[in-house]
Chain A
């Protein structure tokens, strides 16, 4: 099983969730999964833009009861 990191950024306003994601990304090894939970509505477009620009893959992006859950596979790191 690959490494899985969970980041809880619920209640944080922009740019909190992306900051937390960047920090988790720094520690993650290639192939790891990073799961981010956020309530900031701006997080959805932001995480999509981030993944696209950094070459990482969004495996899951869903919203339920006001909580956005994004799962990212680290594919942008050598």
Chain B
């Protein structure tokens, strides 16, 4: 009997499972958490004091009838035997597998990191960590807020920029942006990995009062002394800091091990998204090694491609990104796809409205992806990097 197994009820897994159910496929979704977190929401909780309840929902409210939701932690996958094992010993077989387990955050890669998150929270580790960050930010009257990263590879490349913009805006409203310095320390050569984007973001950061260091990859953190040291040999003092942890593939056993890359991400065909060497298993979103940015948009679009393929269409994933860079009242997007590096996209109020619409549509687009598909398709076609290569 046919059984499609989806692992992980994050962005990609929910879109895939709900789409499959809408087409009448029997689907089982396995998730270890009870609550789904809209991850970009952590920025708004941590730096603007939003209520976490805006960004969390019970997983069971996000699945359609027709999706069998299993609460449990995946421990291992055997691709040859088509078998998934849970930590509690239960096993599941499948005819088709979709792996959407996201990325694992590796705090142990950076000495002092766990202590930093315990003390100050951050904007990557969950809603309560973000609340903790906010409780410290609102008390900060002087000194330096550092936003940094432990590795150049992390989900949502403009997240630290968004953090810095939102924090600077909050401090400005509190009348403290002069006495508190917002310092963005980036592991890249320029203010953004793509120089085209850097040329647009750099002046905006300066206008909004954000100081920037480039080529600063966090190597270790001394919480007691309030110092962050970089791999490149520099150091920064801080009063408050958030460091994006190093990312790894999901912490599960996969047989055969050759389908994992050196960081534990699952190797896929970058267009078809099937696991290398298997046509009955796919990996989407952050858990795959597809050579594009790790974002909710790519997870969502990847889920659509995989469902199409399961239905017999020859859909291909094009690596499209649409990472929003939110600033005070305006936004820009990092728009690229395979073979098309990011195009210059100016900060405008209209794009901020679009981003606010995307955020507002989130819960509905997870549960009813087919209703949003034509709207998103129109947007993605109109803003295809080939169409707007001259700039937008």
Please list the residues of chain A having a beta carbon within 8 angstroms of any beta carbon in chain B. 11-16, 18-19, 22-23, 25-26, 42, 46, 49-50, 53-55, 76-78
Contact = CB atoms under 8 A, between A and B. Distances in A.
A15 B291 contact: no
Contacts of B232: 53-54, 76
Contacts of A54: 215, 232-233
B193 A23 contact: no
B245 interface: no
B232 to A, nearest CB: 5
Contacts of B193: 14-15, 19
Contact of B231 (A14, A18, A26, A46): A26
17 contacts: A13-B339, A13-B341, A14-B341, A15-B194, A18-B188, A19-B152, A22-B151, A22-B231, A23-B152, A25-B231, A26-B217, A46-B189, A53-B215, A53-B232, A54-B232, A54-B233, A76-B233
Given A18-B189, A19-B152, A22-B187, A50 B215 contact: yes
Interface string B50-91: 000000000000000000000000000000000000000000
Contacts, number: 48
B188 to A, nearest CB: 6
Q: How large is the interface on B (under 10, 10 to 19, 20 to 34, 35 or more residues)?
A: 10 to 19
A49 B231 CA distance: 16
Nearest to B192: A15
B153 interface: yes
Contacts of B219: 26
Nearest to B187: A22
Contacts of B194: 14-15
A21 B219 CA distance: 15
